Amino acid sequence: MAMPMSILTLSDRHSSDPSNFTPHVGGPLPSMKLSKPTGKIPVHELAIRSRSNLATAPVLCPIQNVENGALHSVPNANKASSGSDANRDKPYYSDEKIYVETSRVPSHFPTHPLIELQGPFEESMLDAGKKEDCSNYRETNPDKFKGRSRRSLILNQKGGAGNVSYNAQWTSDSESKHHPIMKIMSQVIFGVHLLCQSIAQSVPEVSNILSGFVQELDSFLERVNGDFDQSLKEVSDLYRNLALPLQHVAVFDNLLTDRKYRTQTLEGNIRIDALIKAYSQMMTDYTADLAKLQEANLVFSTYLERIGAEWTRDSREQWDIYVAMRKNTGIWENNVKILQEKARKLGKMLQRCALCVNEFEKRCAAAARRTMVCLIFHYRAITSICLIFNLVYAKP
C-alpha cells in the first residue's frame, strides 16, 4: 500500500481566500502534485575550499562575514564586479559561494526563527562541510528490501547494516547531537522564514530546495511503510508456522523424544530469535524516527499557524508554497499515525513469535528431562536384574 504523497505547489491554481484555508489530512488532493526540482540541488550544503578543488552549492541561509576568515561570503563574479567592499558584506541567498576553511569551524550562524531548532540548524550546516552528512541517511534503494532479500540482509550483514533508519545511522555517529529529521525540519522552517521575511533573492530556488526536503521526508515514509508491510507479512507467516506444532502438542511432544529432532528445534530457535531481535530493533528505530517526525511536524505546523498567510497576499507563488506546506503537515501527521499503528501490530506479532520460541525451549527441556528419567530408570532396572541374576546363579 503506497503512502499518500506530500505536495509542494498547486498544479491547479484556483483562486481561494487564505483566511478560509483548512489543512487537508485525509490524503492527497487530485488537484495537488509534488513539484519536482529542476535539478539535483544539494540540501543545505556549503562549499569546501581545499588545496586542489572547490565545490560550491546553493544554501538556504544567509551567511555573514566572520572575523579571522573562519567563514566568509564571497559573491559571484557578476555581483562582485562593482568593486565595492560594502557589497561583499551583503548576504546573498541564491548563487553566492560560501567558502569554509577545512581547518576552521564557523564562529557563529544565522539566527533560526525557532530557538529550539537553533542547535539542529547549526549542526545541519556543519554537516554540509563533512564528507558524510545527513544526506547519506535519506537515499536508500527500495529494491534491496523486497521479497525474501530483507530477511537475509538483516541477518547476514553485521553491525546492523540492514537497518537503514535515521535513528540507527544517527546513534552510530558519535559526533552528531541532533536527530536528522530535526535537522531537516529546521532547514524547512528556515526556508519558509526567508520567504516570509522577504529576504530570499530567488523564490523559485527556495521552492526547489524545499521540494527536495519534502521529497526526502516522503521517501522516508514510503521506506518505512514498505519495510513494515514486508515485515508484517514475513512475521505473520513465521507465526503461523510456529503456532502449528503448538496446536498438536501430543504429536510435537512425541517428536521431541528424538534427540536429533530436539537439537534441530533448538538450533532453529536460535535463528528465529536472531530474526525477532533484528526486526524488533528495526521497529524500535523506525518508531523513534516517527516520533521525531511527529514532534518536528507539530513544531512546523505551529510555526505556519503563527506566521499566518498575510505575507503571501502579494505573491501567488508564495501563497502556493504556504498552502502546500500546510497540507503537507496534515499528510505527514496522518501517515505517521498509520505507520505507528503498523508498528504496534508488528510488535504484537513479534511478541507472539517470541512466546512460541520460549514454549519450544520449555518443551525441549521437558522432553530431555523425560528422556533422562527413562534412561536412569532403564539403567537401574538393568542393574537390578544383573544383581538378582548374580545372586541366584552365583556359585556357593
Domain assignments of the chain as residue spans, ordered by start:
9-38+115-393
Q: Which residue has the higher pLDDT, 55 or 333?
A: 333
Amino acid at 46: L
Q: Say how many C-beta atoms besides its own lie within 10 A of residue 229's C-beta.
A: 13
Amino acid at 217: L
Length of the chain counted residue by residue: 396
Strand partners, 48: 55, 100
In the chain, the percentage of residues whose pLDDT exceeds 70 is 58
Q: pLDDT at residue 2 above 80?
A: no
pLDDT in tens, 380-393: 555 555 555 555 56
Residue 55: the pLDDT is 29
- The set of cell numbers assigned to 178 is 541532533
72 membership: H or E segment, kind and range: strand 71-74
- 1: nearest Cα among 228, 181, 208: 228
How much is the pTM? 0.67
Chain-centroid distance, C-alpha 204: 28
Amino acid at 220: F
Structural contact between residues 91 and 194, judged by C-beta atoms closer than 8 angstroms: no
Residue 103: the pLDDT is 34
Highest mean pLDDT among 3-17, 126-140, 164-178, 264-278: 264-278
**What is the mean pLDDT of the segment spanning 259-277?**
91
- Which class for 234: exposed (0-12), middle (13-18), buried (19 or more C-beta within 10 A)? middle
Phi, psi of 369 (to 5 degrees): -65, -40
Q: Is 282 helix (H, G, I), strand (E, B) or coil?
A: helix
| Residue whose C-alpha cell reads 512425541 in the numeric block | 254
Residue 14: the pLDDT is 36
Label residue 369 by pLDDT band (50, 70, 90): confident
Chain-centroid distance, C-alpha 331: 17
Residue 217: the pLDDT is 94
DSSP 115: G
Label residue 162 by pLDDT band (50, 70, 90): low
Give CA–CA dist 45/47, Å, rounded: 7
Q: Say how many C-beta atoms besides its own lie within 10 A of residue 329's C-beta.
A: 23
Give CA–CA dist 343/224, Å, rounded: 10
Structural contact between residues 72 and 65, judged by C-beta atoms closer than 8 angstroms: yes
Mean pLDDT, the chain, rounded, equals 71
Give CA–CA dist 365/371, Å, rounded: 10
In the chain, the percentage of residues whose pLDDT exceeds 90 is 38
Structural contact between residues 171 and 281, judged by C-beta atoms closer than 8 angstroms: no
Q: How far is CA 222 from CA 2, 4, 29, 78, 213, in A?
A: 7, 9, 18, 43, 14
DSSP 121: H
Q: pLDDT at residue 36 above 90?
A: no
Q: Say how many C-beta atoms besides its own lie within 10 A of residue 356's C-beta.
A: 21
**What is the mean pLDDT of the segment spanning 277-299?**
94
Give CA–CA dist 164/148, Å, rounded: 17
Label residue 111 by pLDDT band (50, 70, 90): confident
